[in-house]
Amino acid sequence: RAFTFGRPFSILAVDGPVLSLLYRVVGGGTRVMRDLRVGEVMDFLGPLGEGFAPPTEDRPAVLIGGGVGLPPVWAWYQAHGRPGDRAYFGARDGGDAPWELLDDHWRVSVDARVDVPAEREAWQGRVPDLVARDIPASDPTPRVVLACGPIPLLKAAAELAQARGWSCQVSLEEHMGCGYGACKGCVVPVRDAGQVRNATCCQEGPVFAGEDIDWARYGRHDFEVV
């Protein structure tokens, strides 16, 4: 089946010519993907935009993934993870968590403690609250937050980072209709030189500095697209 516009997905892993994706079946596009058979062909455009920056020597990472926003932070951790880094994942419940990807380095939080495997621990509450509990405000270590997930999670992660004096990078989950910045389907309001402008996720993102996002406008559907 052909679709007018593509569906954006983060890459979980690359092994030679094989790309691995993690997605939830929610609509026509993902249903088609679920029903694909070995040997069938799909068009692919990517990777697009800018990813998370490589690690810096003096700043341990705080990785935060929410739902299907796990792939970019999981991939970063697989490639760059160091002993001082902290990794967190949040889901609606245990049935929404890809436990096979979450080893003992990952702290898991759930909105409801349902379907959590008996051998695993899960904290009930928001991921940023768990981070704030694990890393006390008195800890002077400079850190960098790398986050991907729903808008409320990213906003809370950016606010926590700002309050702690940490740097923050957020990977935004936006529909990328064309992938070239022409359709304006993935615009995000960002602060730039004292002004707010529309940036395209497919070209300038999907990773932005958390402090650059205009969180008061982002997620609303009434800001002007120019």
Tens of pLDDT, residue by residue over 58-68, are: 899 999 999 98
Q: Are 176 and 186 in contact (CB under 8 A)?
A: yes
For residue 36, what are the domain limits?
1-47
Residue 198 pLDDT? 92
Indicate if the pLDDT at residue 88 is higher than 90: yes
Residues 183 and 151 in one domain: no
Query: Same domain, yes or no, for 193 and 217?
Result: yes
Distance CA 172, CA 163 (A): 21
Tell me if 113 is assigned to some domain.
yes
Max avg pLDDT among 102-111, 140-149, 168-177: 140-149
Share of the chain above pLDDT 90, in %: 47
CA dist., res. 5 & res. 203, Å (int): 16
End residue of a domain, out of 153, 171, 189: 171
Identify whether 66 is part of a domain. Answer: yes
Q: At what angle do helices 127-134 and 151-164 cross, to 10 degrees?
A: 20
Residue finishing a domain among 127, 153, 171: 171
Listed in sequence order, the residues at least 6 apart from 122 whose beta carbon sits closer than 8 Å to its beta carbon are 94, 97, 108, 109, 110, 113, 116
Q: pTM for the full model?
A: 0.89
pLDDT in tens, 101-136: 898 899 998 887 777 877 788 888 889 999 999 999
